[in-house]
Amino acid sequence: MPIKYMPYVPNTVEGQAVLDNFMRTRRILRYRDNYKVYDRIQRGMPLYEAESTEIIGTEKSQNLLIRGECLSACAYLKNNNIQVDLVYIDPPFASGADYAKKVYIRRNPQLAEKIAQAEQELSIDELQAFEEKMYGDIWNKEDYLNWMYENLMAIKTIMSETASIYVHLDWHIGHYVKILLDEVFGEDNFRNEIVWCYHGPGSPGMKQFNKKHDTIFWYTMSDNWIFNEDNIRIEYKDPNQSLRKAFDTGEGWTEEDIEQMREKGKLPEDWWEIAVAARFKIDEINRVDYATEKPQKLLERIIKASSNEGTMVADFFGGSGVTAKVANDLGRHFIHADVGINSIQTARDRLKIAGANFEILDIKDGVSLFRNPVQTMDKLHILIKGLRNEDALDSFWEGAIYDSKWGLMPVYLPNLLDHSTKVLDLVMMNRIINEALPALPDETKRVIVYYIDIDNRDNIEKFIKEQEVALIDIVLRDLKEVLSEAVVADNIVYKITPTNKQYTVEILQFVSDRLREKIDQYNQKKGLNPNDYAQMHNTPEETAENETPKPAQQKKFQSIEISEHGLELIELISIDCTSASGVWTSDYEIKIDKNGYLIDNGKKTKTFWNGNFVCPQKPLRLKVRNIAGDETIISLVE
Ligand SMILES: C[S@@+](CC[C@H](N)C(=O)[O-])C[C@H]1O[C@@H](n2cnc3c(N)ncnc32)[C@H](O)[C@@H]1O
């Protein structure tokens, strides 16, 4: 439940061109078939409680990693009077894809050295791995645009007077969002459409050009903006003969221009050729393992051009943390927000290795109850006992539960991927009563309405009574209670031995039911369909539409086996020696990279983890993150 709603200010810029996809009444932008966005904008941004979960680094800083939706992150910033000077966002594209994280089984520490002697270094593709869904961007255009509109309005609310925003999109939805951007920021504040071009193989038989560019729209808040042209000049190369001719005939640069460019470098055009972040270069700091990760060079150019040292750079769809990492390298402050826990963990580890100081906040917006919204939605279907598909019901209902007294009870579930259905409010209840209930089969006596977040339960119950829907009983249920059953902590068996004012921590056994279940499912599924294995070697980024997975990458399926002690399921162990409760301080930590190499307190090594480590102070709490990102904390204080 939000603590309060923060107003979106200032309002949209009026008087812009609007495509037929939208309509305008009384000079207010409204979307066809969706009046609700207007109500939501009127209501404001939902401000939720924010819990500080960890502080990294020795110096106090303004840098933040926020786990939460863009809207709630902006509400938090607004409530705390935090403004940002440069925003880069790369939101999901409405491409219809589900993005997955590859989960690598680490080496068995007891065998790591032996394996290493035999094979020196495994290529990433030979490591045992399975996939976990990370985020999905399945939308219809109107819903996506409504969602985007709210996000842009929220971001605008916390931008400073001289701030810039760069919105990274592609052919799926970019042209529509340009109209929204004109609407929200004003056509006069549009600065550039940047075309980021890159190379990549098409596939044989493709009957169209190879789609290899994205579009980045740059807007400013006012006509007083930062542009550091001298920081971004590139090497000037003499053009070829035919271009020279154009210069000579006065259509291009003068000799003087050319002389100056030879000396100072050239201002880049609005098309940038920058290589994609290569998957074979994954190194935990410059390129991490995150689907859709953008290259550092792209962010470098944007941040150098449109911000100064000491200013605040924000990315509200932060993903791998590339914006924060580059901002930190360039002496800017950063805010990285993302709805998924995998993003927060990936960015946290990357920024820690980079030596950044920052605080991690968890926004209690109820969206990420189980790792991330996509996985939470998948889990819900299993957790609601008796829920089954029912052909007689329309798609508004998730299915139905059969009960001997009430008969078939249709079940409504909010869609965590669609922000607009997350809060059960009067608008949604009105829709349920006046649109969804009348369409149900006549014999329906009861429906179950689950919610993640409810606007005001008393008001909603009063509203139900007033509507006199006596024939159908409406039962409201909190989804969080269902989900709390799903989150069972992992079990860690450990031994701590004090030696010479130091403490040797030995992990004897690690049992994760969540992972075991997942691995069993994977083995069973892939055992039945060994050819599916090829697909996991092509991320959505690599296998573009119209391309088929490359047959050369097909491999024979081998089932994943986990040892008795299960240590190969551990990704990170952190020790808090500062306090036994509250905000986490990682006084000492080890991370095991995909190849089994140890990252010792943020320093990469070429040694394998052996199952132990030595902690320089008395440990008070132990946190273990498994390879899928679930974290378990145990207190070491009797
Ligand atoms: C295309 S990726 C961003 C990749 C990032 N630019 C990078 O280079 O790593 C989009 C990200 O948006 C996040 N996301 C999706 N919906 C969100 C929301 N409502 N609020 C915040 N983050 C969201 C996803 O978890 C995902 O990490």
For ligand 1, atom 18: residue with the closest CA: 69
**Higher per-residue pLDDT: 545 or 402:** 402
Burial class for 249, CB neighbours closer than 10 Å (0-12, 13-18, 19+): exposed
CATH number of the domain within which 149 lies: 3.40.50.150
Mean local confidence (pLDDT), 362-387: 76
- For residue 318, report the distance from its CA to the centre of ligand 1, in Å: 5
Q: Helices 341-353 & 322-329, crossing angle to 10 degrees?
A: 20
Instruction: Tell me: do 416 and 348 sit in the same domain.
Output: no
Question: Which atom of ligand 1 sits closest to the CA of residue 88?
Answer: 6
Asked whether residue 358 is assigned to any structural domain, the reply reads yes
Quick: pLDDT tens for 269-322: 999 999 998 777 778 888 898 888 999 999 999 999 999 999 999 999 999 999
CA atoms within 13 A on the CB side of 332: 27
Task: Determine the atom of ligand 1 nearest the C-alpha atom of 137.
Answer: 15
C-alpha span between 87 and 594 (Å, rounded) = 32
The values of phi and psi at residue 176, to 5°, are: -75, -40
Q: Which of 311, 335, 363 is the last residue before a domain boundary?
A: 363
The yes-or-no verdict on residue 624 having pLDDT over 60 is: yes
Residue 480 shares a structural domain with residue 496: no
pLDDT for 31: 54
Q: Give residue 92 CA to ligand 1 midpoint distance, Å.
A: 6
Task: Verify cis geometry, omega within 30 degrees of 0, for the bond prior to 10.
Answer: yes
Nearest Cα residue to 149 out of 54, 273, 30: 30
pLDDT tens digits along 74-89 = 999 999 999 999 999 9
Let me know whether 330 and 288 are in one domain: yes
Give the separation between CA 37 and CA 263, rounded to whole angstroms.
Answer: 52
Residue 218 DSSP SS3: strand
Among 197, 161, 166, CA closest to 181? 166
Q: Is the residue at 386 inside a domain?
A: yes
Q: CA 114 from chain center: how many Å?
A: 38
In a domain, 607, yes or no: yes
pLDDT of the residue at 560: 84
At residue 443's C-alpha, the angle toward residues 442 and 448, to 5°, is 100
Q: What Rg do the C-alpha atoms of the chain give, in angstroms?
A: 27
- Binned at pLDDT 50, 70 and 90, residue 536 comes out as very low
CA of 293 to the centre of ligand 1 (A): 10
How many angstroms separate the Cα of 560 from the Cα of each of 104, 270, 517, 520, 610? 10, 48, 12, 8, 21
Determine the distance separating the centroid of ligand 1 and the alpha carbon of 138, expressed in angstroms: 13
Structure tokens at 631: 């974290």
pLDDT band of 17, cuts 50, 70, 90: very low
Which residue lies with its CA nearest to atom 12 of ligand 1?
Answer: 317
Look at residue 367 in the predicted model and tell me its pLDDT: 62
Q: Kindly state whether residues 357 and 394 are assigned to the same domain.
A: no
Length of the chain measured in residues: 638
Tokens describing residue 315: 């990315």
Atom 19 in ligand 1: which residue has the minimum CA distance?
69
356 and 296 in a single domain? The answer is: yes
Which protein residue has the closest C-alpha to ligand 1 atom 6? 90
**The predicted structure's pLDDT at residue 217:** 98
Higher pLDDT, 226 or 249: 226
Contact 332, 53 (CB under 8 A): no
- In a domain, residue 27? The reply is no
DSSP letter for each residue of 148-213: HHHHHHHHHHTEEEEEEEEEEE-TTTHHHHHHHHHHHH-GGGEEEEEEEE------TT--S----E
Average pLDDT for 473-489: 78
Statement to judge: residues 204 and 314 lie in one domain: yes
Domain endpoint, select from 337, 363, 389: 363
109 in a structural domain = no
Q: Which of 329, 363, 397 is the last residue of a domain?
A: 363
Nearest CA to ligand 1 atom 26: 319
Neighbours of 310 (CB within 10 A): 10
Pocket test for ligand 1, best of 279, 297, 338 (most atoms within 8 A of CB): 338
Q: Kindly give the distance from the C-alpha atom of residue 539 to the centroid of ligand 1, in angstroms, as a whole number.
A: 16
418 and 545, same domain (yes or no): no
| Structural contact between residues 397 and 390, judged by C-beta atoms closer than 8 angstroms | yes
Of residues 146 and 364, the one with the higher pLDDT is 364
Domain count, the chain: 3
Q: pLDDT digits over 404-433, tens only?
A: 888 889 999 888 777 667 778 888 888 888
Test site for ligand 1: of 64, 150, 343, most ligand atoms within 8 A of the Cβ: 343
Distance 101 CA to ligand 1 centre (A): 13
CA of 155 to the centre of ligand 1 (A): 15
Pocket of ligand 1, candidates 135, 148, 282: which has the most ligand atoms within 8 Å of its Cβ, to mutate? 135
Give the Å distance between the CA of 317 and the centre of ligand 1: 4
Atom of ligand 1 nearest to the CA of 417: 16
Nearest CA, atom 3, ligand 1:
319
Q: Taking the alpha carbons of 528, 533, 535, 541 in that order, is the dihedral positive or negative?
A: positive
Q: Is residue 519 part of a domain?
A: yes
Are 437 and 506 found together in one domain? no
Is 365 strand, coil or helix? coil
For residue 20, the model assigns a pLDDT of 45
**Are 204 and 92 part of one and the same domain?**
yes
For the ranges 50-64, 158-172, 243-257, 261-275, which has the lowest average pLDDT? 243-257
Q: How far is the CA of 284 from the centre of ligand 1 (A)?
A: 19
Q: Give the pLDDT band (50/70/90) at residue 363.
A: very high
What integer is the mean pLDDT of 510-532? 79
**Residue scoring higher pLDDT (555 or 60):** 60
* 319 alpha carbon – ligand 1 mean position (Å): 5
- What string of DSSP letters covers 312-326? EEEETT-TTTHHHHH
Q: Using CA atoms of 564, 565, 566, 568 in order, give the dihedral in degrees to the nearest 10.
A: -120
Q: Are residues 305 and 202 in the same domain?
A: yes
Distance from residue 340's CA to the centre of ligand 1 (Å): 8
- pLDDT, mean of residues 475-503: 84
> Is the pLDDT reported for residue 241 higher than 60?
no
User: 101, 289 in Cβ contact below 8 A?
Assistant: yes
For atom 7 of ligand 1, which residue has the closest CA? 293
Rounded alpha-carbon distances, angstroms, from residue 303 to 21, 167, 330, 334, 549: 33, 13, 8, 11, 36
Instruction: Please report the pLDDT score of residue 243 as a whole number.
Output: 62
* Closest ligand 1 atom number to CA of residue 93: 1
What per-residue confidence (pLDDT) applies to 599? Answer: 93
Q: Are 165 and 243 in contact (CB under 8 A)?
A: no
Residue 543 and residue 203: Cα distance in Å, rounded? 9
Among 45-54, 69-78, 244-253, 567-576, name the one with the lowest average pLDDT: 244-253
Cα–Cα distance list, 295 to 230, 290, 440 (Å): 22, 11, 51
Mean pLDDT across the chain, nearest whole number? 83
Contacts of 332 (CB under 8 A, 6+ apart): 86, 303, 307, 308, 309, 310, 311, 312, 313
**Inside any domain, residue 114:** no
Question: Of all protein residues, whose CA lies closest to atom 5 belonging to ligand 1?
Answer: 319
CATH code, domain carrying 398:
3.40.1340
How far away, in angstroms, is 91 Cα from ligand 1 center? 5
- Cα-Cα end-to-end distance for the chain: 36
Instruction: Let me know whether 401 and 534 are in one domain.
Output: no
Residues with CB under 6 A from ligand 1: 69-70, 90-92, 135, 290, 292-294, 316-317, 319-320, 322, 337-340, 343
| Protein residue closest via CA to atom 16 of ligand 1 | 339
Identify the band that residue 369 occupies on the pLDDT scale cut at 50, 70 and 90: low
The residue segments making up the domain with residue 578 are: 491-635
Give pLDDT tens digits for 560-614: 888 888 999 999 999 999 999 999 999 999 999 888 889 999 888 988 888 889 9
Atom index in ligand 1 nearest the CA of residue 320 equals: 9
Is 73 a residue whose pLDDT tops 60?
A: yes
Which of 313, 317, 374, 417 has most ligand 1 atoms within 8 Å of its beta carbon, as the pocket-test mutant?
317
Backbone angles phi, psi at 412, to 5 degrees: -105, 130
Distance 207 CA to ligand 1 centre (A): 31
Please list, in sequence order, all residues whose beta carbon lies within 8 angstroms of the beta carbon of residue 599, skipping any fewer than 6 positions away: 284, 353, 590, 591, 592, 593, 605
* For the CA of 69, the nearest atom of ligand 1: 20
Q: Residue 40 corresponds to which tokens in the numbers above?
A: 């939501």
For residue 242, pLDDT beyond 80: no
Partners of 219 in the β-ladder? 165, 190
Given a contact cutoff of 8 angstroms between Cβ atoms, the answer to whether 343 and 318 are in contact is: yes
How open is the CA angle 364-147-294, to the nearest 5 degrees? 85
Q: Whose CA is nearest to atom 25 of ligand 1?
A: 340
Q: Mean pLDDT over residues 480-495, rounded?
A: 79
Ligand 1 centroid to 320 CA: how many Å?
Answer: 9
Within-domain flag for 392 = yes
Are the CB atoms for 636 and 620 separated by under 8 Å? yes
Q: Do 628 and 533 reside in the same domain of the chain?
A: yes
Q: Could you tell me the distance, in angstroms and rounded to a whole number, from the CA of residue 400 to the centre of ligand 1?
A: 32
Write down the pTM of the prediction: 0.83
